[in-house]
Amino acid sequence: MDTSLSGRDLLSLGDLTSEELALILDTAVVQKRQWAQGVRETPLAGKAIALIFQKPSMRTRVSFEVGCVRLGAHPVVMSGPDGAFSRGETVFDTTKVLERFCDAIVIRTFAQATVEEMAAVADVPVVNALTDDHHPCQGLADLLTIREHFGALSSLKIAYVGDGNNMANTYLLGGALSGMEVAIATPLGYHPSEAVVEQARAIASGTGARICVTHDVDEAVADANVVITDTWASMGQEEEHSERVRAFAPYCVDESLMSKAAKDAAFMHCLPAHRGEEVVDAVIDSPSSLVFDEAENRLHAQKALLTLLLA
């Protein structure tokens, strides 16, 4: 099977096959080890990568900028008043200009439709660095972290509790591709995309994965190897904060909830964390927490992705 990713886009993890996902993780493992050993290869020397940020960013921006530099590419960062689309230019016009200058476009924005339109127009790879619906680069980093910690993916159960947002969608697809058991627990009215759930179940039918979407947090966490959560009010939802805190209170990851998972269960959070809301200090600061390994692996997973897309 051809697993070349050269010239491809990554708009969601559903764009990948299981073999392609494994290739990205394998490449990340090799590059991470080589960097630690002092190997300084620059496979993207001479290339330029456009980095568009329509949403605030720290981890995504730094990891992509540093990743570009380490690969030998030049990152062209566009954000704020000087950013792409800031003067009302269309997605089509912006994309057609950027592809004349740059070898790939990475975009962190709001609507999934924006990255889909950009990918349809661009003759260079387009990478979704976060939309309201998907966060595939975070998903790659998280799967890399889980594989590093446990040594495998397919035999594990991951439980995501909280908002049925872009991270829930990403874990559904990434877990299904990896043959994992995926349990998603959300309050009523905050469930993940039905279309994504169906897509994950279709993938799972071929990989042996198991998909569970429930409102019962105890059912989701039972015997899970990894417990994951995310902020209850994402960017743009600040006005709903009080309402969301009331709805999500039973989904807080505390010591009691972690005790219902497997004995050696790990905790993960893509950050920033709102301590005392979706997770308590005793969990996120515990030895079972992988949050900083997870944050570091954004760099390694994205370096691998860019290397393969621009090969």
Tell me if residue 87 is catalytic: no
Bridge partners of residue 20, in order along the sequence? none
22 three-state secondary structure? helix
Task: Name the active-site residue from 61, 142, 270, 300.
Answer: 270
Burial status of residue 264 (CB atoms within 10 A of its CB: 0-12, 13-18, 19 or more): exposed
CA dihedral 26, 30, 35, 37 (to 10 degrees): 150
Task: Name the active-site residue from 68, 298, 300, 302.
Answer: 298
The two tokens of residue 209 are 């994965």
CA distances from 124 to 51, 90, 203 (A): 13, 18, 27
Q: For residue 289, what is the DSSP state?
A: B
Task: Name the active-site residue from 31, 54, 112, 138.
Answer: 138
Tell me if residue 270 is catalytic: yes
Tell me if residue 298 is catalytic: yes
d(CA 267, CA 285): 10
Task: Name the active-site residue from 9, 31, 61, 108.
Answer: 108
Residue 213: how many other CB atoms lie within 10 Å: 20
Tell me if residue 212 is catalytic: no
Task: Name the active-site residue from 230, 244, 252, 302.
Answer: 230
Task: Name the active-site residue from 135, 147, 269, 300.
Answer: 135
Q: Could you list the active site residues? A: 108, 135, 138, 230, 270, 298
